[in-house]
């Protein structure tokens, strides 16, 4: 018996579907935002619209678990409309947005504010809640209120949110662990950096390379080790953001080998730039953690191939030209936009033969979808999944320039780089948000907050009888002395 015929909303015909394992020629039928059918052209239903994508590759849209869209509070740098437009142009269909806005996303009240700002989004999104020294009592409310993950700034960075003590972090991990929500870490140890920066400033260093000197890789290695211990103790799931060094790969790999529920991401700047670029780029290259040595990027490439590093994200962190080009390095804002350039930069590495297209799908879509509870609804092109698709032309070349970027903060260290491989259409739940290299303006507001598909329990039972909450509940020791 053949299935009931149906009218599809859209058929993409003539393309090659790419998964984390393989690629094959297939047409795709989309209905009500979902992929209804993947298969031979002869099997396709009638459709309201058919788009010829012959010669193109169909990738699951990138899932970028690390963007800063700045709204509320710093909208001179970016807002949800411009940030999500940049994502749409870059083939990214889901973003997870960071809490170092103003106000920071520290309780349900600010979560609601952020959800309201995000109503303008072109692409789907998750929202991070903050785990800090002063909002431990708000964490359960944030969980119940619908955050998608947590962010913990173990080191100082833009926004100057005070880093939690290890004590506060432990209690935070205890509270979050049972929810199964992942805690993403800015893993740099604040006290080491504050000490070294003070000493460097006293000595008169204010050149770009002093930024690396203030934040040597031990700050990352120490922070990853400590966070992994807390995760192992509590059963919390954790994610190491922006991996920048060879040194932090060891505690990451060790923790994975012990069964700690830990994932890691790196960003294009740590793969494609190194200390030799500081002279050319000056303060523009300043980012936390810093771009390091060529030997670091070589080790990160290898870890990405072997699976120790799970995914690529961008740490999309736009600032204005004035904020990025201050002559004293300590005063230049850290970070740069990335959500629009990640896919072209990485496809360019595919063109060079440094990574396969299949492996790129794994690190840009499949692995983030799995780690953040979106799999199997997102991160793959198969019947039943949401139709989040980047249609990619692997032969098209483009030059990255500030004037072409959709982000409000346009200063990027990749200015002037010519790439081969560009997403020419982006679909979010079946709708074109980018078409033929043009933003579809009227899709502002189409993006929706994602919900976890998997009910994720704690990675392993935590030491529940020793949590601060359990200890505070008692039992206390039988009273001694007193009546005797
Ligand atoms: C980020 C920012 O500007 O918000 N800056 C950065 O250098 N990476 C903050 C962060 O992710 O550390
Ligand atoms: Zn960070």
Q: pLDDT value at position 482?
A: 46
In tens, the pLDDT along 111-163 reads 999 999 999 999 999 999 999 999 999 999 999 999 999 999 999 999 999 89
In tens, the pLDDT along 272-318 reads 999 999 999 999 999 999 999 999 999 999 999 999 999 999 999 99
Q: pLDDT value at position 462?
A: 82
Run of H or E including 153 = strand 149-153
Q: Which of 334, 336, 338, 339 to mutate for ligand 1's pocket (most ligand atoms within 8 Å of CB)? A: 334
Contact 44, 29 (CB under 8 A): yes
Tokens of 116: 């309201």
Q: pLDDT value at position 174?
A: 97
Return the C-alpha torsion angle 220, 84, 334, 167, nearest 10. -40
In tens, the pLDDT along 312-339 reads 999 999 999 999 999 999 999 999 999 9
CATH code reported for the domain at 10-55:
2.30.40.10
pLDDT at residue 20 tops 80: yes
Q: Whose CA is nearest to atom 5 of ligand 1?
A: 335
Cβ neighbours around 130 below 10 Å, total = 29
- Given its phi and psi angles, is residue 421 left (phi above 0), alpha (psi -120 to 50 degrees) or beta? left
Total-model pTM: 0.97
In tens, the pLDDT along 343-386 reads 999 999 999 999 999 999 999 999 999 999 999 999 999 999 99
Ligand 1, atom nearest to 70 Cα: 4
Residue ranges lining ligand 1, Cβ < 6 Å = 68, 100, 157-158, 186, 287-288, 315, 317, 334-335
Q: pLDDT value at position 2?
A: 55
Average pLDDT estimate for 24-32: 98
Per-residue pLDDT band for 248 (boundaries 50, 70, 90) equals very high
- Could you tell me which residue, 461 or 484, shows the higher pLDDT? 461
pLDDT at residue 480 tops 60: no
Contact 433, 440 (CB under 8 A): yes
**Residue spans in the chain of domains classed CATH 2.30.40.10:** 10-55
**Residue spans in the chain of domains classed CATH 3.20.20.140:** 61-379+395-416
Contact 385, 377 (CB under 8 A): yes
Tell me which ligand sits closest to the C-alpha of residue 157: 1
Tell me which ligand sits closest to the C-alpha of residue 152: 2
Per-residue pLDDT band for 479 (boundaries 50, 70, 90) equals low
In tens, the pLDDT along 195-241 reads 999 999 999 999 999 999 999 999 999 999 999 999 999 999 999 99
Give the residue among 128, 123, 126, 124 at the shortest CA–CA distance from 139: 128
How far, in Å, from the CA of 157 to the mean position of ligand 2? 7
In the three-class reduction of DSSP (H, G, I as helix; E, B as strand; rest coil), residue 308 is classed as: coil
How far, in Å, from the CA of 69 to the mean position of ligand 2? 13
Class of domain 61-379+395-416: alpha beta
How far, in Å, from the CA of 18 to the mean position of ligand 1? 32
Rounded to an integer, what distance in angstroms lies between the CA atom of residue 235 and that of residue 232?
5
Classify residue 243 as exposed, middle or buried by CB count within 10 Å of its CB (0-12, 13-18, 19+). buried
Per-residue pLDDT band for 3 (boundaries 50, 70, 90) equals low
pLDDT at residue 453 tops 80: no
| Average confidence score pLDDT of the chain | 96
């Amino acid at each position: 018996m053949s299935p009931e015929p149906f009218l599809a909303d859209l058929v993409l015909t003539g393309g090659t579907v790419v998964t984390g394992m393989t690629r094959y020629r297939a047409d795709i039928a989309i209905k009500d935002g979902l992929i209804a059918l993947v298969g031979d052209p002869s099997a396709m239903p009638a459709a309201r619209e058919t788009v010829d994508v012959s010669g193109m590759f169909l990738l699951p849209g990138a899932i970028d678990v690390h963007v800063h869209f700045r709204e509320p509070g710093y909208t001179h740098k970016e807002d949800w409309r411009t940030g999500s437009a940049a994502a749409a142009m870059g083939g990214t269909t889901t973003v997870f947005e960071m809490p170092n806005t103003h106000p920071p996303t520290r309780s349900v009240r600010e979560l609601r504010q952020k959800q309201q700002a995000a109503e303008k989004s072109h692409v789907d999104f998750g929202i991070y809640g903050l785990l800090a020294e002063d909002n431990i009592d708000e964490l359960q409310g944030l969980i119940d209120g619908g955050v998608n993950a947590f962010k913990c700034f173990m080191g100082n960075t833009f926004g100057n949110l005070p880093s939690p003590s290890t004590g506060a972090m432990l209690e935070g991990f205890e509270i979050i662990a049972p929810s199964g929500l992942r805690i993403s870490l800015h893993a740099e140890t604040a006290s080491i950096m504050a000490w070294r920066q003070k000493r460097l400033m006293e000595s008169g260093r204010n050149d770009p390379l002093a930024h690396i000197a203030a934040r040597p890789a031990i700050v990352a290695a120490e922070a990853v080790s400590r966070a992994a211990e807390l995760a192992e103790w509590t059963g919390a799931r954790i994610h190491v953001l922006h991996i920048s060094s060879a040194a932090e790969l060891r505690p990451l790999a060790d923790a994975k080998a012990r069964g700690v529920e830990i994932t890691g991401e790196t960003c294009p700047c740590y793969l494609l730039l190194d200390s030799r670029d500081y002279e050319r780029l000056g303060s523009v290259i300043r980012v936390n953690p810093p771009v390091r040595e060529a030997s670091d990027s070589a080790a990160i490439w290898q870890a990405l191939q072997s699976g120790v590093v799970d995914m690529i994200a961008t740490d999309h962190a736009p600032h204005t030209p004035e904020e990025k080009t201050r002559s004293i390095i300590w005063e230049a804002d850290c970070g740069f936009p990335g959500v629009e350039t990640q896919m072209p930069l990485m496809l360019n590495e595919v063109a060079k033969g440094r990574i396969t297209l299949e492996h790129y799908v794994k690190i840009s879509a499949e692995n983030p979808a799995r780690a953040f509870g979106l799999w199997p609804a997102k991160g793959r092109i198969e019947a039943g999944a949401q139709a989040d698709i980047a249609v990619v032309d692997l032969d098209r070349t483009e030059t990255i320039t500030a004037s072409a970027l959709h982000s409000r903060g346009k200063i990027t260290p990749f200015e002037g780089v010519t790439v081969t491989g560009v997403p020419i259409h982006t679909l979010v739940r079946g709708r074109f948000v980018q078409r033929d290299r043009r933003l579809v303006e009227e899709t502002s507001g189409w993006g929706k907050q994602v919900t976890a598909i998997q009910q994720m329990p704690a990675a392993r039972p935590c030491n529940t009888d020793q949590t601060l909450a359990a200890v505070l509940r008692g039992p206390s020791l039988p009273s001694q002395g007193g009546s005797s």
